[in-house]
Amino acid sequence: MPDNEPAPNIDPVLSSGAMKLRRKKLDNLPWDHSGRHPGNSFFWHLIIQMMNIAWRYIFRSRQVDAPPNYTGGRIFSSMHINGLVDPMSLVLSQDRKVISMGRHDLMTMPLIGWFSRRMGSQPVIRKPEIRLGVADEEYASRINQRTLLTMTNCIAAGHNAVVMPEGKSHQDSRLHRFKTGPMRFGINAAAIADEKGQDTPALQPVGLHYRRHYWFRTDLFVEFREPIPIEPPSDPEHGLKLANGEWTEPPHEQVNTLKDELFRELSIVTPNAPDWPTYRAWHLLAHIDANQSGSSLDTFKDEVFAAREVRNLLSNDEIPEEALELSMEAAEILHSHDLDGRAISDSGVSATSQWGRLLGSLFLMLVAAPLTVVSTGAQAIIAWYLGDRTDEGVDARTTYHMLAAMFSPVLFWPPIAAIVTYYAIGQGPLLAPGILLMIIAFHLSNLTFLLGYDLWADFANSRRRTRLFSSSEGAKLEGLLSETKSILNLSK
């Protein structure tokens, strides 16, 4: 059962990008210690629109709770298992301009770095990179303190921040140990805010829930806990030094206390399971219980909450351990067929083939294919190819899908639309509006194609259920489900 202990703190495996230090770009990167956001306002709004397109493309469903009201700046923090998709989801889940920091090469690499710098993102040189000689300690300290002061002043001025407290993306089903950075600049932001008579900031725990995070067109649910207000240090000189541009470390005890509180709050809204098979078993038990009670888990949000209740019941020994063991075995059978708890009904495995969805899928994809293939086909293939071969790990897979969806509207669609429109109507006063309409048509065509893709996925899912139902594994699954239900009934 989950014990709120972090997973072992293993250093990230450094990618080829993280091993490249571009000093000139780091030195010239925009920063500001006055509290003014260092990003470019025009490009900020443009990038938000690009992110919104990517959000619609890579997720089939998105359920986002409204953030709690809070007047001061907030540090949005979550578990980090999905590459750049995690910070994108945090940015799009609230309505303020945010300041963020991340791995140094994300600010300096071609294309991504150009956009990161215009968003005002700040670089961090991590300890593993120092140990491997990517940067010396003196240079890393100068860059990191510059970043911390920029983040601190922005948060004190009321901007929100997006920070992954684990300091790396990973693939575990529970949190890794937190870095102290978010707590340190959060406390210092409170000191500056107190010095200037501004509203004090808070830590904002966020649950980012993915049905299967490395799948294209998976489901997303964004959940918020109550903000954790940050008190300024008791030393009255602390805020004055920071306001004058001198980085001063906050009290160590206060940092650790705040870190432990954030860890506890985030643990509640993460899987917090010993491993992924256990987590999948919790979801299956939630579906079994819903079926037995005559209800259903209609949304992914419902499923997340129901699985959390199973987690709590198991922790309190209100569900027998034997039921968990049986459901783990059953869940792994489903998982091996790319299925989950939605595939079962009260009578067993649901095995109805959805041929109507196949016909709808083929119709929609064929209708949309001419514009979708011309506008986005090449980017989609490249994203798929690179995502399956990246040295960043499986957590970076959907990052490539996200980047292809983000950059297509600004880098690829305009020239393609210009060529198509020119050959369709030639030169003249209608050329410019024709190009704009063609870009809009590309987007609508892609949405139509993706709807067809979703129907195809539903049909393929139904076929997998049918094949499992008629197999020996299906018979074994039926037995495991029946035995699990009997144990659950006896325990009530």
What would the pLDDT profile of 269-284 be if each residue is shown by its tens digit?
999 999 999 999 999 9
SS3 57: helix
Q: Does 7 reside within a domain?
A: no
d(CA 123, CA 112): 13
pTM for the model: 0.89
Q: At 220, which helix (H) or strand (E)?
A: strand 218-224
Separation CA 31–CA 249 (nearest Å): 20
Q: How far is it, in rounded angstroms, from Cα 210 to Cα 219?
A: 6
Tell me: do 283 and 179 sit in the same domain: no
- Rounded Cα gap, residues 337 and 468, in angstroms: 8
Average pLDDT, integer, range 293-299 = 89
Q: In this structure, are 340 and 478 located in the same domain?
A: yes
Token pair 């997006």 in the structure block, residue: 162
Same domain, 376 and 238: no
Confidence category of residue 254, pLDDT binned at 50, 70, 90: very high
Residue 349 has a pLDDT of 65
Are residue 235 and residue 295 in the same domain, yes or no? no
Asked if the structure places residue 6 within a domain, the reply is: no
Copy the structure tokens of residue 229.
């207000």
Flag whether 11 is in a domain: no
For residues 67-77, one letter each, b for 16 or more C-beta atoms within 10 angstroms of the residue's C-beta and e for the rest, the string is beebebbbbbb
**233 and 299 belong to one structural domain:** no
pLDDT at position 100: 86
Tell me 176's DSSP state.
B
Q: What is the number of alpha carbons within 13 Å of residue 88 lying toward its C-beta?
A: 29
Q: Is residue 14 part of a domain?
A: no
Are both 313 and 261 inside the same structural domain?
A: no
pLDDT in tens, 210-223: 999 999 999 999 99
| Same domain (yes/no): 159, 42 | yes
Domain count for the chain, please give it.
3
The answer to the question of residue 10 being in a domain is no
Give the pLDDT band (50/70/90) at residue 374: very high
Task: Verify that 300 and 418 share a domain, yes or no.
Answer: no
Q: For residue 476, what pLDDT is reported?
A: 95
Res 9 pLDDT > 80: no
Q: What 3-state DSSP class applies to 99? A: strand
Q: What pLDDT is attached to residue 462?
A: 92
Range in 21-25, 73-77, 261-265, 368-372 with the lowest mean pLDDT: 21-25
Taking the CA atoms of the chain, what radius of gyration do you get in angstroms?
25
Beta strands in 70-192 (DSSP E): 74-77, 98-103, 122-124, 160-163
pLDDT for residue 345: 78
SS3 content of the chain, % helix, strand, coil (to 5): 60, 10, 35
Q: Which two tokens stand for residue 402?
A: 């996200």
Q: Which of 204, 239, 268 is the last residue of a domain?
A: 268
Q: Kindly state whether residues 415 and 481 are assigned to the same domain.
A: no
Alpha-carbon gap, residue 247 to 175, rounded angstroms: 29
Say which DSSP state 377 is in: I
Contact residues for 415 (Cβ-Cβ < 8 A; gap 6+): none
Cα(267)–Cα(214) distance, rounded to whole angstroms?
A: 21
| Alpha-carbon gap, residue 251 to 230, rounded angstroms | 13
Phi, psi of 25 (to 5 degrees): -70, -40
Q: Average pLDDT for residues 454-471, to the nearest whole number?
A: 93
On whether both 392 and 300 belong to a single domain, the answer is no
In a domain, 18, yes or no: no
Query: Which residue range forms the structural domain that includes residue 188?
Result: 23-268
The answer to whether residues 344 and 362 belong to one domain is: no
Contact 39, 157 (CB under 8 A): no
Q: Which of these three, 268, 293, 321, is where a domain ends?
A: 268
Q: What is the pLDDT of residues 20-61, one digit of tens each?
A: 788 888 888 888 888 899 988 899 999 999 999 999 999 999
**β-strands 218-224, 160-163: how paired?**
unpaired
On whether the CB atoms of residues 192 and 246 are closer than 8 A, the answer is: no
The token pair at 323 is 């039921």
Output the domain CATH number for residue 141: 3.40.1130.10
pLDDT(312) > 60: yes
- Mean pLDDT of all residues in the chain? 90
4 located within any domain = no
pLDDT at 277: 97
Cα distance between residue 287 and residue 458, in whole Å: 19
pLDDT digits (tens, 9 = 90+) for 156-186: 999 999 999 998 889 999 999 999 989 998 9
Q: Are 73 and 161 in contact (CB under 8 A)?
A: yes
Question: At which of 236, 268, 300 does a domain end?
Answer: 268
Query: Look-up: residue for tokens 């993706």?
Result: 450
The answer on 377 and 332 residing in a single domain is no
Cα 330 from chain centre:
28
pLDDT of residue 313: 95
Angle between helices 41-58 and 85-92 (to 10 degrees): 110
194 part of a folded domain:
yes
